[in-house]
Amino acid sequence: MSGGAGGLHAVLTDVVYLIAASLFIFGLKRLSSPATARSGNLLGAIGVLIAVVATLLDRQILGYGPILIGLAIGTVAGALMARLVKMTAMPQMVALLNGFGGMASALVAADEYLRIAVGRAVMTPDIAVTIMLSVLIGSSSFSGSLVAFGKLQEIVTGRAVTYPFQKTGNALLFLLTVVLAGVLVFGGPDPVLFGIFGLAALVFGVLFVVPIGGADMPVVISLLNSYSGLALAATGFVLRNNALITTGALVGASGLILTRIMCNAMNRSLTNVLFGAFGTAAGQAVAAAEGRTVREITADDAAILLGYARSVVFVPGYGLAVSQAQHNVRELADLLEARGVEVKYAVHAVAGRMPGHMNVILSEAGVPYDALLTTEEANPIMPRTDVAVVIGANDVVNPDAIENPNSPLAGMPIIEVHNAKSVIVIKRSMATGFAGVDNPLFYRENTRMLFGDAKKAISELVRAVKESVPA
């Protein structure tokens, strides 16, 4: 690849790789605004395309059969997946693609190991170390992503799965893989031991994700995204290919930033998310609601409240995505806007199952992106908001997070709907949210509960607004 031999042809290939890497950076930069994001994505695609074409002309390639078969299968499968996936299923889709990328990087590094081992060539320590890193990170991100996919798709339980000696077991397994890697680096080439090492990495990836609950998946997916980038960079070091190194660093950084944002939004440390086995306690004892009453509201009364308001803010949670209510919410918003109501949406960073997921779901329903507010943007306008409508969200609107220092949620940034003049909470039952904590918002003077499935409740509101509020 890069490096001395090969002359002009190799230099040209390297120049193309440099252009590709620049296109990636430029493309990511354009992702910072919805107006330019689509062209940014296209630049990235062009970058990969020219890099692949340049590689196809490489003189090391002796036969095109397997390459073309692989490209054909991959293109068809990838295109089908991209076309068929539902927007609510985007987290599992990204988890899967992530895992595939990580595994591909690991396989390329593994092949290099086998080539050197069989060819009895000299394996320098830096090559050996980076091969081990690529295989370890790439394989475990692959198997970990598959488990995340299974949890999100609900093929396996979304709950945090725990068993005795779990952490000790995982730590020992990790130690074992590191020792194996050490033996492989300092001992002679040993393809069998190398295979065992690869298997151990795969098992580790599974056991790493199993104890993490479904609602913590935004963190896991971000982290696995970062790992697939690091595996790519490690493979870049193995092949001495600077395009892979650059791209791997970019993706690694991207995943790390998103991981940090997700952890901050939940006010939990990464360690707590990964090893805390949050979300195990099914019916955790909640400080009983005795003596406090919730006030119910009918759809018709709620419609009057909404129809004659000046400003309404919708606060969507995962419950909205589960019942596919986004289109109904949009319909309700349209009706309200036609009646002169100003409508906004306050989206918490962890609303949904991956970073930014709720924004995609709302955009799919045709909500314009200028109406989508972040927590920081929404809180200042809350006191001026007439009605805040909470749809299938719970922990992210729990005032205990700022008012009760003893709450498990204390310190978590929340959308301060309790500051709005009135709050309508659409919820199936009085069940607690993911954190298993009672929510004092429901008992407040200015809160009204509208019980029911999000989609049904919103369609009821749509009907009631049409009937009782003239446009």
What residues between 86 and 145 interact with other proteins by CB under 8 A? 87, 90, 93-94, 97-98, 100-101, 103-105, 107-108, 110-111, 114-115, 118, 124, 126
Q: Does 435 bind other proteins (CB under 8 A)?
A: no
Sole window of 48-56, 200-208, 289-297, 417-425 interacting with other proteins (rule: CB under 8 A):
48-56
Question: Closest distance between other proteins and the C-beta of residue 162, in Å?
Answer: 28
Identify the residue among 5, 8, 83, 163 touching other proteins (CB under 8 A): 83
Q: Which of 14, 216, 395, 438 is catalytic?
A: 395
Candidate segments 26-34, 292-300, 389-397, 418-426, binder of other proteins by CB under 8 A:
26-34
Contact positions with other proteins (CB under 8 A) in 192-231: 221-222, 225, 228-229
Measure the CA–CA gap between 272 and 151, rounded to whole angstroms: 19
3 binds other proteins, rule: CB under 8 A = yes
Question: In this structure, is the dihedral angle defined by the CA atoms of residues 152, 156, 157 and 163, taken in order, positive or negative?
Answer: negative
Site for other proteins (CB under 8 A): which residue of 154, 296, 337, 467?
337
Nearer to other proteins, 297 or 350 (CB): 350
CB 45 to other proteins: min, Å: 4
Find the part of the chain contacting other proteins (CB under 8 A) among 45-53, 288-296, 315-323, 412-420.
Answer: 45-53
Work out how close the CB of 309 gets to other proteins at its nearest, in angstroms, rounded to a whole number.
Answer: 16
**Alpha-carbon span 112 to 243, nearest angstrom:** 18
Provide the minimum distance between the beta carbon of 340 and other proteins in the complex, in angstroms, as a whole number.
Answer: 9
Least distance to other proteins from the beta carbon of 37, Å?
A: 5
Question: Which of these ranges, 70-78, 199-207, 283-291, 395-403, lies near other proteins under the rule CB under 8 A?
Answer: 70-78
Nearest to 225 by CA among 93, 377, 129, 374: 93
CA atoms within 13 A on the CB side of 2: 15
User: Measured from the CB of residue 110, what is the shortest distance to other proteins in angstroms?
Assistant: 6
Instruction: Reply yes or no on whether 395 is catalytic.
Output: yes
Stretch that binds other proteins, among 233-241, 288-296, 315-323, 433-441 (CB under 8 A): 233-241
- Looking only at residues 355 through 384 of this chain, which bind other proteins when binding is defined by CB under 8 A? 355-357, 359-360, 363-364, 366, 368-372, 374
Instruction: Indicate which single residue of 6, 10, 19, 48 sits in contact with other proteins (rule: CB under 8 A).
Output: 48
Task: Give the residue numbers marked as catalytic.
Answer: 395
